[in-house]
Amino acid sequence: MSLDPAMVRRIAKLARIRLADDEVPRLQGELNAILGYVEQLAAVDVDGVAPLTGGAQMTMRMREDRVTDGGIPDHVLANAPDRIGDFFAVPKVVE
C-alpha cells in the first residue's frame, strides 16, 4: 500500500492538521515508510489463528450503574478557551 500526495492531504484534512505544500512529500515518505514497516506483518501466516485484541487473558470488566461523578462544571470548563455561563462558547457553527 502506498499513499499518493492527494491521500496525504486528505488524511491531514480529516485530522484537522494544516499542511504546507512543501511538507507533503516529506510526510508522504514518512507515512509510506511506516506503512511498509507494518506491512511486513502480512507475510505471517495467520490462518486459523483467532485475532488477539490484547495481551491480557481477560474480558472487559463492567461497573454497576451508579452516579459517582459529575457536578464539577468549573473543573470541566477550566481549560475552555471561552465560556459563557456554564456553557463552552465556540465560534458559531453554521449548518
Alpha-carbon distance of 2 to 37, in angstroms, equals 12
Q: Counting contacts by CB under 8 A, is residue 41 touching other proteins?
A: no
Identity of the residue, 10 or 26, whose beta carbon is nearer to other proteins in the bound complex: 10
Q: Counting contacts by CB under 8 A, is residue 49 touching other proteins?
A: no
Q: Counting contacts by CB under 8 A, is residue 75 touching other proteins?
A: yes
Q: Which residues, in sequence order, are CB contacts of 83 under 8 Å at separation 6+?
A: 77, 89
Alpha-carbon distance of 35 to 29, in angstroms, equals 10
Q: Output the CA–CA distances (angstroms, integers) from residue 38 to 1, 4, 32, in the order listed.
A: 10, 18, 10
Measured from the CB of residue 95, what is the shortest distance to other proteins in angstroms?
Answer: 7
Q: Counting contacts by CB under 8 A, is residue 7 touching other proteins?
A: no
Q: Counting contacts by CB under 8 A, is residue 40 touching other proteins?
A: no
Q: Pick from 6, 13, 38, 47: which binds other proteins (CB under 8 A)?
A: 13
Identity of the residue, 40 or 68, whose beta carbon is nearer to other proteins in the bound complex: 68
Cell 470488566: give the residue: 61
